Structures are given as structure tokens and as C-alpha cells.
Structure 1
Amino acid sequence: RKLRYAYSYVNSDLAVEGRKDPSKKRQDFIVTYTDLPDPTNPNHHPSIPVYPDTLVWKVDYTYSQNDPMVKTYFNHPSYDNYPVVGVTWEQASAFCVWRTRFYESVAVARKQPLNARPEYQLPSDAQFEYAARGGNVKTKYPWGGPYIRNTKGCMQANFKVGRGNYSDDGGLYTVNVKSYFPNDYGLYNMAGNVAEWTITSYNQSAAPMLLDFNPNYTYEAKTQDSKYKKRKVVRGGSWKDIGFFLQNSVGTYEYQDQPRSYIGFRCVSAYPGTDITYRN
């Protein structure tokens, strides 16, 4: 709880908003997470705790006998290949920054060009859906079909099968990330197991404002903002969700400062493709 991560970055959205304001300086576009935030600066935020909240198994389900999960999920080797949970959107975003800078330090050590390093971030809502579909545009689920069971009658993801029925899919809580087959992009658990944070802010009125080219809506919530401005899109559905939330087209939301026992994350990075003249 005492180990925290402090960092800062230039927010391009703030830069765009203030580009024609001569009174703005570069420092006005820098968002900072620090141990000593300035309460008068709306771009200052408290530094981010490094470790997941181990108590989410009890907080989310107060009257459940989840003590074994609290005591073992984050420290027993049996869970090494299980998805991380108990992290807020803020923690997931901070991890992406840390991972980017870690690879930057590796590039420096190897005397590689810094502009060749990957920059990691959470996927946008649209990116997650694109990845979940695995190239199958019209399919309902990531595995490429309209049914939750395969031809042998087995469940194809870890989710809540029915009222009070969490185990017919083979897992009572989370399961090993390779317990089910990947989609056609080779990605595991794009539906079920744990839902996942996206970088996209949740706003039901945002859709008409978005372009059809790489659409994404983000909002840098201030500390004093209402909780409704701190909602982030969550995708994929989880072990505690019914099958509806596993669909490629379905998303929901969670507050950015709330860790959950059923929400995790994965990073994405831009990949420099091959020049179009060489594709033939």
C-alpha cells in the first residue's frame, strides 16, 4: 500500500484545447501524478498505488466465503497464469506508462533509437471490439459463432451460466488464461474470465460526435469532478457475468478508481506496418 508510482505526461487533448490561447504554457498541458499534488492545480493527481487490492474478493462479495482467494490469489504460484484483478483504471494506465518507459530504458541501454520503442496504452473501446472479433466481422462472440457452447456441448468461455451457476463452465472464479481456445487472432479471453478496462470514457451521448476512423472518446477526469465523469468503458464480460456481456458488441462501465475482482486489463501498442509499396 505504501509503494506508489509517480509520473507525468503531456496531454494532447489539453494541448489542442489551449493551442490558440496565448496565456497557456507548456506546463498547463502536463498531467502529473505525484506524492504531493497541488490542490489548486486541476492537472495534479495523487500518485498511484502499485499493488492490486487483495481485498476485492471480500469487498465485492461481503457475505461470501472468499478468504482463500484473499490470502492466495496474489501470492500463490498456482495463480501465476491467472488474470490480474483488483486494479483500478488508474493503476492499469500507470502500468502502461511504466512499461513504455521500461522498454525505453532498454532501448537506451542497447543504443537503439528511442522512436522505435513501443508505446503501450489500454485499448480503446473500438480497438478491443476489433481484436475480439478476430477478423470475423459479423460474429456474435470472439470464437466465431452464435453459440456459447461448442459442438460437444462444452462452454467456450468462463462466465455465469445461470442463476447461481458459476461452475458449469469449469471455473468457479477466474481460470487459467489458456483454459479456452483463442480467437482467430490468437487472443485468449476476449470474452469471459475477467472483463477489461479500456482507455475510452463512458458517455452515452458521445457516439454522434465520433468519427468513423479510429473512434475514441476520452476525458481526463479532475479530482473534483463528479463520479459520472470518472466512468470508463469495460469490455469482454467476466466470470460473474451472464452470456449477454460476452458479446463482441456489448460493453458496460466502471468508475476509474474502483478495483474489482472481475476486471483486469491488457496493453496494446502501435505497430509500424510494412510500406504499401512492398505489399506486392
Structure 2
Amino acid sequence: MTGKKTHLVFGIFLLLTALAGCSSNKISASASDDGVVHGIKYDKIPKGMDLPSNMVYVPTGSFTLGSAESGSAGTTSVSVNGFWMDKYEVTNAQYHQFVNWVRDSTAAMILGYVHVSKEGDTAVDWSKAKKINFADDDIQQRLSSIMLPSQDLLNDQPELDPSKLIYRAKGFDYNAAAHHPDQPRKNFIYSYDVPIYPDTLVWIKDFDYSYNVSMARDYFENAAYAQYPVVGVNWRQATAFAHWRTNYLNQYLGRKKLAVQNAYRLPTEAEFEYAARGGHNNFLYPWGNYLKNAEGCMMANFKNGKGNYTDDGALYPARVDSYLPNDFGLYNIAGNVSEWTATSYINGYQAYDNDFNPNIYINATDKDSQDKKRKTVRGGSWKDPADGIQVNARSYEYMDSSRSYIGFRCVIDIPPGTPKK
């Protein structure tokens, strides 16, 4: 496979549960056909996973989407279903785990460290992939197709080519399938390839006439920033991370013979605003209507006036566990870094939204117009003034663009029977 572009296919895994035996609620069908509807019998339902790690439950509820206080396009009352949300923004360390998985998987496929099933399916042999010594001269020769050419090296030190770390995600377009029931299922299955390494040069591209070389060099790679929010990640990369995270979890659950879970995903715009409000419909900010607490400490990481970035104790992004959480237990749901949502950006969106679980989603492709590629960004960041971190503040970025001030966090839907904290 050397010399060929290697893609990783991480498929959709579905667990089909056998339905037989006694149901958990003691209602069972009779052994004979007695003409009475008893319902099917459930048996061998796999035990579910433990409560999600470092996530908080945002309960089902209603709120007023948008706020006239900040001059938004309008307000409307909506309801959202409960969901689990990352307590913190996704960190450099967490995203590095994704990058390393793609790196090791790509290298393993090239080196032939694979298992081949009876059906001919190929899977990475992780017992070997985890032991790859990328500093070994022979390994570097065998991996030449994903190494930087000699003319691109600094100090003649071999390096992997970040552009060759490509993740292939597969998905199903439920919206298109619902509107075209006459078409075969295959028409709605799509895949896309995503180079997943962050754009570390955003620290320079985003700010003309500003010295940020040290951030471009260190922010993603230096362990000192491990617990800081990952940035330089575009919408496609954030979505790919959620896809990988889903399958990474479900493969583990499958090995443990536990029930697979719904997909990790980006929150919708409505979910993000509802979570940011922390159960309070009339707050300007996730914590209330003030910027400092009783001790005079800033409540978030933002720009407090022209050129004043440091009143909150941080010049750039801060650690993801900095400042106080809102009443749902979410840290930096305003400020620090803005965050991608799943929702497409449309002006006057309240007029188009449904009033329950509202979301406008355009599955844009490379061929679509730029307007269709706009994704809503929420939360405000370290570079934004106070009005940019209000709970109703919204902006957008193009799905293929990355910024030094945009990160993300994930949500996951878990069925109602799952115990809550």
C-alpha cells in the first residue's frame, strides 16, 4: 500500500438485540395464541454504559430562544429534549488522541498490521499498531508515503506529513431520506474524507501586525497546553471528531458486550443556548446579569474594553476548567473559545424554526454556494467584548474555515431509561 493515499473507514456499527424470553416489566406473552395482545417479550437486552464521563445532563425544558435585550431578530418560545453535554470544551489532549488514532491506524494499514475476517473485512491490529516506533529508520522508510519530503524538513529531522492524516466518516442523511421515501436507502448514505490535523497557523492568519509565532508553534503540540481548548479546527473536523468518538466508544462497549449508544454530535444552536442559560430564561450571561462576582472576579474569559484582554487573568484562551460553571455545571459555555454548533446559519432563523427541538441543517457539499456552508457559532470567545458572550449572541463561520478562537464540545442523546445524575 506504500505510495497510495490511505483512508480510514470507520463504519457504522449497529447492535441487533435478540427479542425472546421474559420482559423486565413482568409482562410476557403466553405460550399459546390466546387471541389477546400481550406484547413481544424482551430478553438479553445488553446492559448500558455507565454515566458519560465529564458530561452533565441538561434536562428537557422550554425557554425563550433569542432575546430582545440584545437586539436579536426576534424571540420565540421553544422546547428541547434532554441531552448530555461535555462539561468542558474539547481539549488539545483529547483532540490529540484523535490525531494519534488516525496516525497509528494509517501507519498500521501501510505496514500490514491488520486482521482479515472470514468475510474479507480488514481491521487494524491494535496490539501491533500501538507499538509502532516512528523513530525507527526502517519504519520511516516503510512509511515514506506519509512522511514529509526531505526538502520540507527542519534540521533534517524526519516528520510525518500532517496533511496525510485523513479520517473517513460515513453518515446517513435522515432529512433527505424523510423527504424522498421513494428512493433506495443507499442514496442517503454518504462519506467524506477529512484531513484532521488542526491549522496551527491560525494564530498568525487571524491577527495582522501581531506577534503570535509562539502560539502557532506551541499551542497544540506543547504539553503545557494539554488542558486548553483545541482551536484551529473547522466544522468538518469537529464533526469528524464526534463521529470517531462515537465509534471509539461503541467498539469498547461491543467488546464488553454492553449496549451501543447513540452518536456523539455537535449541539444544535437551540441546545447550546438552552444549556448556556442554565435553566434561567432571563439571564444576559450564563451566570446572571453581571460580569464580575461579589469578590470582583471576572466570570469569563473575554475582552473587557478596547485592548483590555487581561482583566480576566488570561490573554489567550484559558484552561477549560477555568472560571465558574453555570447552574447546569457547564464550564466556559460563554467566553474562552466560541463553539461550533450543528445548525446552519440563517438570518431571522426564529421564523423558520420549529418550536420543539428546533434546528436548521443543510448538509452542504463542496459544490454548494458559500451561503449554504455557513454554520452557527455560539458562546463568544477570549477576543470578544461583553456583548459577544451573552447567551443569545450568535455569529457564523464557514464550515471549512478554522480560527484561533473557535473550538467545540459534544453532546449525546441517551434513552430515557438511562439513570440520571
2:303 to 140, 145, 160: 160
C-alpha separation in 1, matches of 2:337 and 2:349? 26
- The Cα offsets for residues 26-59 of structure 1, whole Å up to 9 and x where unpaired, read as 22111211xxxxxxxxxxxxx1012111111011
- Name the residue aligned to 2:376: 233
2:357 to 203, 210, 214: 214
1:230 Cα deviation from its structure 2 partner: 0.4
- Name the residue aligned to 2:63: none
- Name the residue aligned to 1:40: none
C-alpha separation in 1, matches of 2:394 and 2:226? 27
1:156 aligned partner, one-letter code: M
**Superposition map of 1:181-260 within 5 A:** 181-260=324-403
1:185 Cα deviation from its structure 2 partner: 1.0
2:269 to 119, 122, 125: 125
1:17 to 154, 179, 182: 179
Calculate percent identity across the aligned residue pairs: 50
Contact 1:5/1:49, CA 8 A, preserved across alignment: yes
C-alpha separation in 1, matches of 2:190 and 2:308? 44
C-alpha separation in 2, matches of 1:201 and 1:182? 27
- Name the residue aligned to 1:37: none
1:28 aligned partner, one-letter code: N
2:205 to 41, 56, 59: 59
1:118 Cα deviation from its structure 2 partner: 3.7
Contact 1:103/1:118, CA 8 A, preserved across alignment: no
C-alpha separation in 2, matches of 1:66 and 1:241? 18
2:189 aligned partner, one-letter code: I
1:265 Cα deviation from its structure 2 partner: 0.3
Q: 1:274 to 1:105 in 2, by over 3 A?
A: closer
Contact 1:200/1:216, CA 8 A, preserved across alignment: yes
**Secondary structure of the corresponding residue to residue 242 of structure 2:** helix
**Secondary structure of the corresponding residue to residue 343 of structure 2:** strand
Ranges in structure 2 where 5+ consecutive residues have no aligned partner: 1-162
1:205 Cα deviation from its structure 2 partner: 4.5
2:331 aligned partner, one-letter code: Y
C-alpha separation in 1, matches of 2:254 and 2:204? 43
**Secondary structure of the corresponding residue to residue 101 of structure 1:** helix
Contact 1:82/1:177, CA 8 A, preserved across alignment: yes
User: Are 1:7 and 2:169 an aligned pair?
Assistant: yes
1:67 Cα deviation from its structure 2 partner: 0.6
C-alpha separation in 2, matches of 1:261 and 1:213? 33
C-alpha separation in 2, matches of 1:274 and 1:199? 26
1:74 aligned partner, one-letter code: F
1:271 Cα deviation from its structure 2 partner: 2.4
C-alpha separation in 1, matches of 2:179 and 2:415? 28
- TM-score normalised according to structure 2 size: 0.59
C-alpha separation in 1, matches of 2:280 and 2:352? 26
1:134 to 260, 263, 278: 278
- Name the residue aligned to 1:27: 186
**Secondary structure of the corresponding residue to residue 188 of structure 1:** coil
- Name the residue aligned to 2:230: 84
Q: Rg larger in 1 or in 2?
A: 2
Q: Report how many aligned residue pairs link the two structures.
A: 258
Ranges in structure 1 where 5+ consecutive residues have no aligned partner: 34-46
- Name the residue aligned to 2:141: none
**Secondary structure of the corresponding residue to residue 232 of structure 1:** strand
RMSD: 1.6
C-alpha separation in 2, matches of 1:60 and 1:241? 13
1:119 Cα deviation from its structure 2 partner: 1.4
1:179 to 300, 312, 322: 322
**Secondary structure of the corresponding residue to residue 32 of structure 1:** strand
C-alpha separation in 1, matches of 2:329 and 2:352? 33
- TM-score normalised according to structure 1 size: 0.88
> Moved runs in structure 1, 4+ residues, more than 4 A?
none
